[in-house]
Structure 1
Amino acid sequence: MPANAAGGESQATEATATFDSVKEYYGKVLAKSSDLKTNACCTSEALPERVKHALANVHDDVLMKYYGCGIVAPDELQGKRVLDLGCGSGRDVYVLAQFVGESGECIGVDMTDAQLEVARGTEEWHRAKFGFSKKNTRFLTGYIEKLDELELEPASIDVIVSNCVLNLSPDKPRVLEQVYRLLKPGGEFFFSDVYASRRVPKALREDEVLWGECISGALYWNDFERLAQRVGFADPRLIKTAPITVNNKQLEKKVAHIQFASATYRLFKLPDLLEPDCEDYGQAVIYLGTIESHPESWALDDHHTMHKGKVFAVCGNTWHMLHGTRFREHFEFIGSFNTHYGIFEGCGRTSKLFAGTGAGGGASGGSCC
């Protein structure tokens, strides 16, 4: 057998073992959220009012099986087609289904039958609860690395979300490639996950509990940003981050030399428009105050909060993220790409996930203006 064939077979075997382990962990070991052994798959940030209201309409059986590390509820979803990767029992699907409305659709994909049984078993209950004449949700059994095997057309999804699932995948590059393939031009991947301050060693990656708890499968933050850029998401934008303490003395000892953080990123599919760095073209935008629930100001990411009516200078990438996406109608755009002034002043290249800890320094390919 050729060496490359043997290597491919070995990788496939390892991936299958990982899939089986995750299915076992989330299908049998964890019966409810409180069975988690660490705080990695827990959402610590305060819920926005619109999310609180939406969660009040979600069935208790779904809520008790929630495993996530962030809030994946981007703005401006009315009438959109949304896909949730690793949807589990459907908590985020049913929250987002209310935001897309009856004219939109929210699709969940998961590989764990026990979780999907709960999600599918409450579809009619949720339709009635939302007051819709027809259901706007759909749940597919499948692997997030193999979305091309499902009934999903390329460039057919407006927004893809995921909540603490990418770290569980044995083939993260493949997942991002699938996400990019499915998104429409101008579409967005909005997701929360766990990241590490350094590369996690093989011995820890083989620990089934640490992997199942969303710890040892975490990507080193710089590897993630480079991977996203290589796939086509040229300028990953960090929205929020929070440290993860593991909160389990036995497991903490195993990973004491590594720091972990939960983070929410947004990646836009804007082929041939975004540049590797924040370039200055003398442009600016004015927020019109028309995004629902944000009448006074709206934040694109952790360093772009735009106030209604105020001129806000932006780099070329930020201009495209607003002008070439579903947010366009909410802004007035000033300037063009006729003159280039160099790197946008204040552009940074270090990670903010581990700022001040001495653990995440170094160059980052991402842009920051």
Structure 2
Amino acid sequence: MENKQETTASLPLADTNCCASDCCTDDNTNKSATELKELVQEKYGAIARRAAGGGCCGDQSMDYSIMADEYDTLGGYAPDADLKLGCGLPTEFAKIKAGDVVVDLGSGAGNDCFVARSETGDTGQVIGVDFTDDMLMKARKNTLTLGYNNVSFVKGDIEDIPLPAETADVVVSNCVFNLVPNKAKAFSETHRILKTGGHFSISDIVLEGNLPQALQKDAEMYAGCVAGAIQHEEYLGLLRQQGFKNLQVQKRKAIVLPEEVLSQHLSAAEIAAFSKEFGIYSITVYGEK
């Protein structure tokens, strides 16, 4: 399995009032799938309304951008659509060609859609799928500003994508599947909407080792809702189970929790063990149908 690039990102401390906003929760472990989806909609709706971006569970003072990769060297980059909510650059690795139909799952304000549009050109089509009304509103406004007539956005849950089978040549997604309760269903839907011979490039958060219970709240706050992420090998295994082949890890980036956060919950010995035995990673994965 190819590992094209590996880097390390250290997440800074947030403002102590981070979780005073309406997008936070003290405990997600016992919530139903419906409640988790409502939480995500509420949280990302609030971020879209703020327009300036912000953290997964924070306000504008939280530097969530440490987790995101910079888009400004990519063609089609639209700063107003970049809310710094991703954890990779899937469009950079997606092998998009002129004329392709590209679907972006969890498209937010349209950032990856506009980059994809620069690759697929006037002869292609880009479709963003998101289930947050405020994000869809912002994405459509950005599209009008940019004057694109082949970029569109539809409301939908990626566990039940509102597109016909065999729609897309390429699927991209940026830090979204880690927020989905039923990842197997979402991967199955991704496989369904891809054309035979099509492929995806997905950036997401995965874990290695068991996340200590005492850190689940903080890990979610600082690492983009990592409490919803699953083990690296389990993630790849789910993709294989849905029929994807030629899986490749195109990029892997370690996410490091600050010691100041760890010391609030763990002893010095536990921190040392945590650092050796546990990891949070952003990965970009490629696969074919």
TM normalised by structure 2 equals 0.74
* 1:151-207 deviation line (CA, Å, top 9, x unaligned): x11112100000011101111111100011111111111011111012446786678
- On the 8 A contact 2:54/2:84 being kept in 1, the answer is no
Q: What secondary structure, in the 3-state scheme, does the structure 2 residue paired with 1:179 have?
A: helix
- Secondary structure of 1:261's counterpart equals strand
Partner of 2:165: 154
Q: Do the aligned partners of residues 265 and 252 (structure 1) sit closer, same or farther apart at CA in structure 2, a change above 3 Å counting?
A: farther
Alpha-carbon distance change, 202 to 268 in structure 1, aligned in 2, over 3 angstroms: farther
Q: Distance in 1 between matches of 2:41 and 2:76?
A: 28
- Contact 2:88-2:284 at 8 Å conserved across structures: yes
Which residue of structure 2 lines up, in the alignment, with residue 54 of structure 1?
Answer: 76
Matched, 1:217 2:228: yes
Matched, 1:68 2:86: yes
| Residue 82 (1) aligns with residue 137 (2) | no
**Partner residue in 1 for 2:38:** 20
Q: Is the 8 A contact 1:211 1:217 kept in 2?
A: no
2:151 corresponds in structure 1 to: 137
- With over 3 angstroms needed to count, the CA separation of the structure-2 counterparts of 1:254 and 1:80, relative to structure 1, is farther
AA aligned opposite 2:141:
G
Structure 2 residue matching 1:18: 3-state secondary structure: helix
Which of 156-165 and 230-239 deviates more? Answer: 230-239
| d(CA) in 2 for partners of 1:192, 1:225 | 12
Which residue is 1:98 aligned to?
A: 118
Q: Is residue 130–residue 157 contact of structure 2 (8 Å, CA) maintained in 1?
A: yes
Q: State how far apart, in whole Å, the 1-side matches of 2:136 and 2:39 are.
A: 17
Please tell me whether the aligned partners of residues 207 and 230 of structure 2 are also in contact (alpha carbons under 8 angstroms): yes
Answer 1 or 2: higher relative contact order, Cα 8 Å, separation at least 6: 2
Match of 2:209 in 1: 198
Provide the C-alpha distance between the structure 2 equivalents of 1:22 and 1:41, rounded to a whole number of angstroms. Answer: 20
- Give the share of equivalent positions with the same residue, in percent: 29
Tell me by how many angstroms 1:243 deviates.
0.7
Contact persistence 1:69–1:192 (CA under 8 A): yes
| Total equivalences in the alignment | 243
Structure 2 counterparts to residues 157-172 of structure 1, below 5 A: 157-172=168-183
Could you say which residue in structure 1 is the equivalent of 2:242?
231
Instruction: Output the aligned Cα RMSD.
Output: 3.0
Q: What runs of 5+ residues in structure 1 fail to find an aligned partner?
A: 1-12, 270-369
Unaligned runs of 5+ in 2: 1-30
- Structure 2 counterpart of 1:117, which letter? M
Which stretch has the larger CA shift, 175-184 or 207-216? 207-216
One-letter amino acid of the structure 2 residue matched with residue 23 of structure 1: Q
2:195 alignment partner in structure 1: 184
User: Which amino acid in 1 is paired with 2:239?
Assistant: A
Amino acid at match of 1:100: T
Higher alpha-carbon deviation: 237-246 or 196-205 = 196-205
